[in-house]
Amino acid sequence: MIRVLLADDQQLVRAGIRLILDSERDIEVVGEAGDGADAVRQAARLRPDVVLMDIQMPIMDGVRATERICAQGSARVLVLTTFHVDENVVGALRAGASGFLLKDARADALTDAIRVVHSGEAIVAPAVTRRLLDRFAHQLDHVPPLGLAAATGAGRSHLPDILTERETEVLGLVAKGLSNAEIAAELVLTTATVKTHVHHLLDKLAARDRVQLVVLAYDTGMASAARPGGRAPSQE
C-alpha cells in the first residue's frame, strides 16, 4: 500500500484528489495539510511514502516545505502545479522533489505518477520539462550546482572531464526532456544502452534521479551538449 499525504490549501482540491486516490486498491491517503508548515509536521509524524505538494500555500510555501520534507528523508515529493506558476517548480525540483505534474492531468496520470515516484523513479514529462527549462534556464546560472559538483567542488569547468563523450551527449538530451526511447532514436542506440548510460550518469554525478540530472545539466552548462538538428521529440 502506497501511503500518500495531500498538501494543498484548497479543501475542495484535496477532496477531489482524495476521491480519485481512494478508488485505487494500492493507494491510501493517510493525511491532509492545508499549508506547508502543517505538511512538514504531518510528514514527520505520519511517515508517508509520497507527498502530493501544492506550490502556493500559506504560512510556508511548497518549495520550502519540499526542502524540509526531503531533508527528513521519509517521503518523496510530487509537486502539483499550474503552468502559470512554473517558475516555482525550478525551486521545488532543486529542493528535492521527484517531479511535477500539472493539476489538469488526468486521474490515471496522477495515480500512475504516484506509483512511479514511489518506485524510486522521477516524473519528468518531456513536453512540459522542455518548456519549463527553456523558459527558466537562466535562473539556474545563479545557484550552486547539485550532486558531484557540489560535493567535491569540481565546478563547471571540471565536471565534464569525468564523463565520456557519449555520456555527455546523453546528459544533454536528458536535459531537453527526452525519454530513453527518444534518446536512443536520436543517437542510434538501443534503449537498453541508453538506460545504462543514464545509470552511469546517476552514479558519477551523485544524482538521486533523472530530475536532478536535468537540473545539474543546466547548472554546469552541459545542456547544450545535445546534438543539434535531430528529429522533433514526441510529446508523449
Residue 77 near residue 123 (C-beta atoms within 8 A): no
Q: In whole angstroms, how far apart are CA 10 and each of 40, 57, 58, 97, 193?
A: 17, 9, 11, 21, 44
Average pLDDT of the residues in 167-174 = 88
State how far the Cα of 14 lies from the Cα of 8, in Å rounded to an integer: 6
Residue 73: which region, alpha, beta or left (left: phi > 0; alpha: psi -120 to 50)? left
Output 51 or 206, whichever has higher pLDDT.
51
* Nearest CA-CA partner of 94 in 67, 134, 132: 67
Domains 2-123 and 132-225 are alike in CATH topology: yes
User: How many helices (DSSP H) and strands (DSSP E) are in the chain?
Assistant: 12, 5
pLDDT of 226 over the 50 cut: no
pLDDT given at position 227: 45
pLDDT given at position 128: 56
Residue 39 near residue 59 (C-beta atoms within 8 A): no
Residue 214 confidence class, pLDDT cut points 50, 70, 90: confident
Which listed CATH number (3.40.920.10, 3.30.70.2740, 3.30.2270.10, 3.40.50.2300) goes with 132-225? Answer: 3.40.50.2300
Query: Which element (helix H / strand E) includes 5?
Result: strand 2-7
Domain boundaries along the sequence of the chain: 2-123, 132-225
Query: Minimum mean pLDDT among 79-93, 158-172, 218-232: which range?
Result: 218-232
Query: Minimum mean pLDDT among 19-23, 139-143, 144-148: which range?
Result: 144-148
State how far the Cα of 11 lies from the Cα of 16, in Å rounded to an integer: 9
Q: Which residues are paired to 50 by β-bridges?
A: 4, 76
pLDDT given at position 105: 83
pLDDT given at position 224: 53
**2-123: what CATH class?**
alpha beta
